[in-house]
Chain A
Amino acid sequence: MIEEFFEQPVYGLAKAEKAALLSRELGELTRHHDAACAPYHSILSAYPPDALPGGSVAPFLPVSMFKMHSLSSVPQEQIFKTMTSSGTTGQAPSRIFLDAETAQLQTRALTRIVTSFIGPKRLPMLIIDHPSVVKDRRTFSARGAGILGLMTFGRDHRFALKDETMELDWESIEYFAQKYPDSPIFAFGFTFMVWQHFLQQLKAAGRKLPFADAILIHSGGWKKLEAEKVSNDIFKGVAKDIAGFSRVHNFYGMVEQTGSVFMECEAGRLHAPLFADIIIRDPQDWRECAIGEAGVIQVLSVLPRSYPGHSLLTEDRGRLLGEDDCPCGRMGKTFEVLGRLPKAEVRGCSDTFAQPVPQGAAA
């Protein structure tokens, strides 16, 4: 019962209790999608039950499956929104089909996670992006959907960038600086945008913002920043110095599992919330890696009902840092992301699932 997950503290259950709750819910989801999504059924039935990748409770699909196939577990008329990920150049985008129930669960889970960090009150919100990313209302890009999802946590929203030129919108910024000096504000943006188009432009203009105890939540890969030798510590230092963001939280999440995001705590670790879990796997044989061992990240979420996305093998490398033992006091697994998998290994992962999937069976 998914409602049980909303009755418990989001970072409060110890290992055994969380594992029992999760495996029951994930097992139910596997059976639901197996019965409701023909292509998913045909993928699973290519394996003997005891040889399913990731185990029979929640066998994983490589995320690339959502680029190659239309995977839906609800009738077409129940789909009210399709989310797409931008995908890398030359690749088809992922398509994720949402019904009202799954969308509602995503929002509720995200609310539990984010308000546990920023509190129940909505703070004045500066969006580190430009307004046109949320223009197309029917089909959102992952970027637009991410921003809209986070806008619920703010009020008096302003966009910090003008348009596709990525120029700072000084009018918005001045408005905020004058209206909320020495106040906590809330800002959200994608990691690279925040660094390159916000912090660097403020720095170049010699401006410091007057906010106090302000919160910045950002997501997206570190790849571009690593190339510029910008570590998480440097990022946080500059965000605090230039813009007054003394609380900075990165999060890791996939458009295929919107809602159950992995937030970075005060100790700098990414945390699995009650709605989700993380497993690091050895790409050679898919065994579970121990704490400290690097491997491929598998993400699990109890939210996806309208598409079979509850257990996914990502194209990212990571390493578990611990379980139920973070200095911040939150329970659950903690981990770090080590970057994208090399291309050849990504191909290797997808080849595990080279079986033909009947076309036209999906909604």
Chain B
Amino acid sequence: MDKLVEIVAKSLMLPAEKITEELKYNSIPEWDSVAHMALVTELEDAYGIMLETDDIVGMSSVAKIREILSKYDAAA
């Protein structure tokens, strides 16, 4: 399974098949600001990176997260 999808699914406590590239932050109750912080921690642990505040604010969809991770050379 795609590593990023797996991490997002785990953080949002949703089955992986619900995680699409278009899924947006704050578009479903499961992806609220609390889940977002959990997701940040999971991403940092999984990829060994430290995200900046602007990255977290920019993580507005799964596709966007993928784009931000590529900046850190993290193979998402």
Contact = CB atoms under 8 A, between A and B. Distances in A.
Contact of A155 (B34, B50, B60): B50
Contacts, number: 52
Nearest to B33: A148
Interface string A100-126: 100110011001001100001110000
Contacts of B24: 100
Contact of A111 (B29, B40, B54): B54
A137 interface: yes
A272 B16 CA distance: 44
Interface size class of B (residues with CB under 8 A): 10 to 19
Interface in A238-278: none
Contact of B52 (A81, A104, A114, A120): A120
Interface string B14-53: 0000000000101101001110010011001000001111
Residue in B33, B37, B57 with the greatest tally of chain A CB atoms within 10 Å: B33
B56 interface: yes
Contact of B53 (A134, A148, A152): A152
A103 B26 contact: yes
Contact of B57 (A80, A108, A155): A108
B53 to A, nearest CB: 5
Contacts of A229: none
B27 A100 contact: yes
A149 B32 CA distance: 12
A97 interface: no
Contact of B51 (A122, A138, A149): A122
A90 B54 CA distance: 41
Contact of A137 (B34, B44, B50, B60): B34
A153 B53 contact: yes
Nearest to B37: A151
B39 to A, nearest CB: 12
Contacts of A149: 33
A251 to B, nearest CB: 17
Nearest to A157: B37
A115 B53 contact: yes
B60 A104 contact: yes
A148 to B, nearest CB: 5
Interface in A78-96: 80-81
Residue in B34, B40, B41, B44 with the greatest tally of chain A CB atoms within 10 Å: B34
Contact of B26 (A100, A155, A157): A100
Given A137-B32, A151-B37, A122 B26 contact: no
B12 to A, nearest CB: 12
Residue in B26, B41, B60 with the greatest tally of chain A CB atoms within 10 Å: B26
6 contacts: A104-B26, A120-B52, A122-B52, A122-B53, A137-B32, A151-B33
Given A104-B26, A120-B53, 16 more contacts: A81-B26, A100-B24, A100-B27, A103-B26, A111-B57, A114-B53, A115-B54, A120-B54, A122-B56, A138-B29, A151-B37, A152-B37, A152-B53, A152-B56, A155-B40, A157-B37
Question: When A and B form their complex, which 7 residue pairs have the shortest distance between CB atoms, in order from nearest?
Answer: A100-B26, A120-B52, A148-B33, A111-B57, A152-B56, A115-B53, A137-B34
